[in-house]
Amino acid sequence: MLPRLLFNASEQLCLEHTDGRCLPLTVPFTADGAIRPATTPDDVYVLVGASLHPDQGSTAAGSWVRVDFIRLDSTGQVSRWYCNGEGQYTHQEIVEPAMSPPPKAQVSVLNPAFVEQARRRLNDFQIYTLLRHCLGREVAGRYLDGCAAAHGPTPQARHCRLVVIYNHNFLRNCPGVHEYYRARFPEIDFVLPCAAPRHPNYFAYPYGSLQFHGLVYSYLLEQQRSGRADGCDAFLFVQDDLLLHPGIDSDTILAQLQKGHGGIFQARHPFRFDNELWMWTPRVRNALLNQLDPLHGNGFEGLYPAISCNSLFHGVSDCFALSRQLLDEFLDRLGPMVAANVFPEVALPTALFNTAESCRQPVLIRPGTLLWGKDRAQASDPEFIRAFIASESMFLHPVKVAFGDSETMRLMREAAEALQNARSNSTAPAA
């Protein structure tokens, strides 16, 4: 049998032999083998974990241990230390994790303090990637799985599904967002860049913050092809740092769409190519007008038959609703703009407004409250939050919804509970 890697009660990384000996590894960087937490900006080395690698034999003498450290300010390199079957340090090397796939045979142990230390600087996809390259896919997968919120069974009644989009992979915040909205939406999905837990309500696609329309498109296409889209009547897409008004829930979205609307958006702004006040105009202009140009384009030549350059719109696309009835047409219009890399805050409203007009189900304009620059400090002002709650605004952006212990979130929860109670009382049968 093989030896076993473990952390003892003193947080020493040890090699436990089958004969009962438990030998702390003599890794020079950690002095006596104890973990040194990264507690200051200068103390950035963190022990990720270790892997046991049997040689041709299966005895302790025929095995060696690989121990990986990273610098939290430079995750492109791993300091890799090697110990023999007696736990004695032999040599080290500096490797690039992206060029160093994990070995096929290993018994890995994860430093229990690594995740806490790494989260101070890294997003969850970066942590997942380092774990995958240092300790293997299964250890990395268990990290993602552990971040998932618990979800209930899929609802059977008519409902609007809330879909939370993450521009950056901060999976760790999903449980907080789920907890805040679960009383208002019977079904909540999370869509993240590149990696997600093995969970039916989590999805991952290879797009980042400047291409989040690709996350929307890929998610909806998968829902359509799997038949899961048939289980709901509408989709409400929100970014993870967008706070819905306490009065917005599945029922209110459906009630608004059932009045003949195909979607909901915060404003209707036609896009003009000469709008130099908007910083994204040159990118949109190149994607639409120079799509085959080798310097500025994207090499996608199927845009013109699908998209009219005379019917373009732009606007903050961090919150919008789409009726299930419009899904097929919406995908047909959004897909070419994803392929051409048209900026999402033109691609999404253009696809939504054009689809709605084509299907004769106009978009309902429901404004939101946007905080830019110094105005963002108002999100922490209780009076400002009370005024927002009393308004007809659909959302407040940006606000860190996952940080549920803030005064802002406390006021929002109280308002949502009061509105829910009022609705329940109004529908209760008379005594």
Report d(CA 87, CA 64) in Å as an integer: 8
pTM given for the model: 0.88
CATH architecture for the domain at 160-369: Alpha-Beta Complex (3.90)
* Whole-number pLDDT of residue 105: 67
- Give the other-Cβ count within 10 Å of 306's Cβ: 16
Residue 416 backbone phi and psi in degrees, to 5: -65, -40
* Whole-number pLDDT of residue 295: 80
* Whole-number pLDDT of residue 62: 61
Query: For 42-86, how does the pLDDT look when each residue is reduced to its tens digit (9 = 90+)?
Result: 566 788 999 988 764 444 456 788 999 888 877 888 888 888 888
Show pLDDT as tens, one digit a residue, over the chain (431 residues).
678 899 888 888 888 888 888 888 877 665 455 555 555 555 667 889 999 887 644 444 567 889 998 888 778 888 888 888 888 888 888 888 888 777 666 788 998 888 988 898 899 999 999 999 899 889 999 999 999 988 888 888 899 999 999 999 999 999 999 999 999 999 999 999 999 999 999 999 999 999 999 999 999 999 999 999 999 999 999 999 999 999 999 999 999 999 999 999 999 999 999 999 999 999 999 999 888 888 877 888 888 888 889 999 999 999 999 999 999 999 999 999 999 999 999 999 999 999 999 999 999 999 999 999 889 888 888 889 889 999 999 999 998 888 767 788 888 888 888 877 776 676 655 54
* Whole-number pLDDT of residue 415: 82
Report d(CA 221, CA 328) in Å as an integer: 9
* Whole-number pLDDT of residue 36: 57
Instruction: Domain ranges for the chain, please list them.
Output: 4-146, 160-369
* Whole-number pLDDT of residue 245: 94
